[in-house]
Amino acid sequence: MTSRKKLQGLVAATITPMTPDGQINLPVIRQYVDYLVNKQTVKNVFVNGTTGEGLSLSIQERKQLAEEWVCQGKDKLDHVIIHVGALSLPESQELARHAAAIGAGGIAVIAPFFFKPTNKDELVSLLQKVTSEAPDVPFYYYHIPPLTGVKIRVEELLEGIKERIPTFQGVKFSDTDLLDLAQCIHKNEAQQLEFLYGVDEQLLGALAVGANGAVGSTYNYLGRQTNLMLEAFAKPDLALARKYQFLTGEFLNFVIKLVIFLRQWCPRRKTALILLSPALL
């Protein structure tokens, strides 16, 4: 791999814009990029993940979204990470090849969550088969056990993974087990891996144990405020950092109630359309 800028700070887990009839709305992405950069001071994105409902989209839709984000993000975004995980191994490999071909800044892979890997070797073997299709693209393991049910600790997974997957660059750590995260960071400091936390309301705790940054949905609309929290933590001004973290928590309490209400009458693939309305942004 060629020299690259380190992935750190905030990464917006992008929402997939939809038209009223449930089709992906590609023209929105150009203004979406400008909004993230200019209004939220966020210059990294994670595409086709949980927030973007990637696993609910067709392979063709996922490719179109990846292409548009890479195209519109050129010279504006620092990193465009494409999630290529799928329940079908050939489909995941196809998405990895596609991400490499369009010049994605990285790929991420979630653990299979129907027929689940039962141990570290099974999981690494699968990840190896996917990442080998993009041999020059940095790879991030997408760890989200609350959704996948795959509870293999990342600390265990990392032992020897770099030898088997040379492109391994880090982890999107979407779990509340800060002990696991801390041990990962402590034991792998020499490798300069990137540990990006994925539980927005607990980011401050992850920063305290050494996380490089964060991937999350709230950075689409709370990016500027969260960057102020990162600045306060770096000073350090922990009282101010806590204030920003508490504000994020209060906002999320409201959003959770809103989403529960919306899903009572709104088809899942149209939820993104509502959450992207100008009034909310």
Cβ atoms of residues 99 and 84 within 8 Å:
yes
Whether 131 has a binding-site annotation, put simply, is no
Catalytically active residues, by annotation: 142, 172
Asked whether residue 153 is assigned to any structural domain, the reply reads yes
Q: Give residue 64's pLDDT.
A: 98
The amino acid present at 93, given as its one-letter code, is Q
Q: Give residue 262's pLDDT.
A: 59
User: DSSP code of 106?
Assistant: E
Q: What confidence tens digit (pLDDT) does each residue in 161-207 have?
A: 999 999 999 999 999 999 999 999 999 988 889 999 999 999 999 99
Claim: this prediction has a pTM higher than 0.85: yes
d(C-alpha 107, C-alpha 56), whole Å:
18
Farthest-apart Cα atoms in the chain, separation: 50
Give the bridge partners for 143, in sequence order: 173
Question: SS3 for 189?
Answer: helix
CATH classification of the domain holding 80? 3.20.20.70
Asked whether residue 268 is assigned to any structural domain, the reply reads yes
Q: Give residue 200's pLDDT.
A: 94
Asked whether residue 98 is assigned to any structural domain, the reply reads yes
- The alpha-helical segments, DSSP class H, found in the chain are 28-39, 59-73, 89-102, 120-131, 145-148, 154-157, 161-164, 178-187, 203-208, 223-234, 238-262, 268-275
Asked whether residue 1 is assigned to any structural domain, the reply reads no
Asked whether residue 4 is assigned to any structural domain, the reply reads no
Chain-centre distance for alpha carbon 98: 18
Q: How deeply is 260 buried, as exposed, middle or buried, from its count of CB atoms within 10 A (0-12, 13-18, 19+)?
A: exposed
Asked whether residue 267 is assigned to any structural domain, the reply reads yes
Cβ atoms of residues 81 and 11 within 8 Å:
yes
Nearest to 37 by CA among 224, 218, 199, 203: 224
d(C-alpha 45, C-alpha 229), whole Å:
19
Asked whether residue 237 is assigned to any structural domain, the reply reads yes
Q: Which residues in 57-177 belong to E strands, given as ranges?
A: 79-83, 106-110, 139-143, 168-173
As for how many domains the chain has, the answer is 1
Domain of residue 160: give its range.
Answer: 9-280
Whether 215 has a binding-site annotation, put simply, is yes
Residue labelled with tokens 């996948």 = 148
d(C-alpha 212, C-alpha 281), whole Å:
27
Per-residue model confidence as pLDDT tens for the chain (281 residues)? 445 788 999 999 999 999 988 899 999 999 999 999 999 999 999 999 999 999 999 999 999 999 999 999 999 999 999 999 999 999 999 999 999 999 999 999 999 999 999 999 999 999 999 999 999 999 999 999 999 999 999 999 999 999 999 999 999 999 999 999 999 999 998 888 999 999 999 999 999 999 999 999 999 999 999 999 999 999 999 999 999 999 999 988 887 777 665 555 555 444 444 344 333 33
Residues whose CB falls within 8 Å of the CB of residue 130, separated by 6 or more in sequence, listed in order: 84, 85, 89, 92, 93, 96, 107, 109
Q: Give residue 3's pLDDT.
A: 56
Asked whether residue 2 is assigned to any structural domain, the reply reads no
State how beta strands 194-197 and 168-173 pair.
parallel
